Each structure stands twice: as structure tokens, then as C-alpha cells.
Amino acid sequence: DIFTRGSAGVVFELLQSRSMWGAMILQAAGIYTYYLLLFWIPSYLQTTGNLSLMKTGLYTALPWAIAAPVSICLGLLSDRLLDRNKLMLGQRRYAVIGCTLLAACVLFVPLTTNTAVILTLFAISLSGISATISLNIVLVTDLFRRPRDIGKALSLAILSGNVFGLVAPIITGYLVANFGGYGWAFAIGGIMLLIGAVAVGTMTNAPILPEPEPAR
């Protein structure tokens, strides 16, 4: 009982944190667009490029193969450029914003029918999204001042992402079925990422929870 009340109290306190909401909004946007691309890139490539099943599989793998090492390098770069004091002040958010803006290039996918350009945009977007999701979680730990409660904060961020990730393929299916194309699907993903970038840039400028009071 005591543990439950204590946990509920911490969660309620977290939900009052402006910085926590900024991280949750971005995580929701990032995971939504990640799942959008995860489930719908093959269908999009096959529909727009009239590709065979073999080529669809190959072309789908290319952006992911590029995104994996690039996202790792972006994470390493953010660690290299920021010292401990800057991290404690939440300045990792600038790296998060930059990666999110890279991811938002998914907005331009419907504007071209060139397969090479489409794959390039997908690779850039996936690199940005992969880095964004990871760096955003690390940003939460940067801004946190109560080590014993960090799991609750990370769980909230991950929960917000998973809820939006769950509905992403469903919403995309309805959009494609009702509008006869993928334009709106990619537009919503890109706009959500831009909203997430604004949220992180304007809301994550303070510790998520204050430091615990020293024991008397």
C-alpha cells in the first residue's frame, strides 16, 4: 500500500513537470512515425515504383541499413560535443531537435516519384528518428535528479511512444484507404515530428523533478 501510494505520487508529480511532457510529446511523435515507416515502406515502394517482391524487399532494407550506423554516429556526436554541465542543463535537446528535423524530411516523400530520391529521404528520416528516440530517452535521464525514480519517468516516456506507435499503422491504413494515397500519412508523421521538436525546444529547459531533500 505504502509503495503503491508512493509510486502513484511520483507519477502524479512527473505529470506536473513541463519537461516531462516535452519528452513525452516528442517520444510519441517519434515512435508514431517510426511505426508508420516500419509497416508501410514496403507497400509504398511497391505501389509507387511498381517493384517486384524481390526488389521491394531489397529497397526496403537499404534505408534501415543506412539508418543503423548513422543514428549511432549521431548519438556519439552528441556525447562528444557536450560536457557534463551542459548535459545537466538539458542542452542535449539541441541534438534531439536537430535529429527530429532530419526525421521530418519524410514530409517530402510524396513530392517525388524517383525511387532513388525516395530511398534517400527514407534513409535520412529513419536515421533521424532512430537517433531522436534514443537521445530523447537519454535527455530524460540528463534532466532527472532522483535516481531511484528514474524508471517511472522512462516508463512514462516509453508508454507515450508505444500508445502512439500502436495506432500509427491503423491510422495510416484508414488514410491510404480513404484518400487513395500516402500523402496524408506522411504529412501527419512529419507534422507530428515538427510539433515534437517545438515541444522539446520550449519545454525541456528545467529539471524534471527537483533534487531530493537531504536526510535529517
Tell me the pLDDT tens digit for each residue of 13-71. 899 999 999 999 999 999 999 999 999 999 898 888 777 788 888 989 999 999 999 99
Residue 195 has pLDDT above 50, yes or no: yes
Q: What is the pTM of this model?
A: 0.90
Residue 3 has pLDDT above 50, yes or no: no
- Residue 6: pLDDT band by 50, 70, 90 thresholds? low
Average pLDDT, the chain: 89
CA angle 8, 198, 132 (to 5 degrees): 75
Helices (H), the chain: 2-14, 18-49, 53-81, 84-88, 93-103, 115-143, 150-179, 183-203
